[in-house]
Amino acid sequence: MVQISQGDRDIGWGRLGTLTPKGESGTEITLYDVQIAEGVQFEVGGPFRVAVEDKRFEQCRPVNFRNLRPGSDYERVIFETDRKPRLG
């Protein structure tokens, strides 16, 4: 499972589809079967942190949705970031 966070809060999770390099340091992250926890407060437009195994992608923004909503399920969510992943 891939963890989706904002600040110090875990807000959701999903199943990894693809990690696609974009430009010099950016990445596109496709997640499937995404679930956003109900009752958790966060900025619905991002930015988010996406943790894939030992890599953390910071400053991620959803591409195919303007906002992610608490208590919602999504079939597919695509995130983009222009930052290199951090290990650990």
Domains of the chain by residue range:
2-87
Q: What is the pLDDT of residue 34?
A: 98
Q: How far is CA 37 from the centre of its chain?
A: 13
Residue-wise pLDDT for 36-46, tens only, equals 999 999 998 88
Q: What is the pLDDT of residue 88?
A: 62
Q: What is the pLDDT of residue 24?
A: 83
Higher-scoring residue by pLDDT: 88, 24 = 24
Q: What is the pLDDT of residue 85?
A: 82
Q: Rounded mean pLDDT of 5-17?
A: 96
CA–CA distance, 8 with 64 (Å, rounded to integer) = 24
Average pLDDT, the chain: 93
- Contact indicator for 87, 54 with CB cutoff of 8 Å: yes
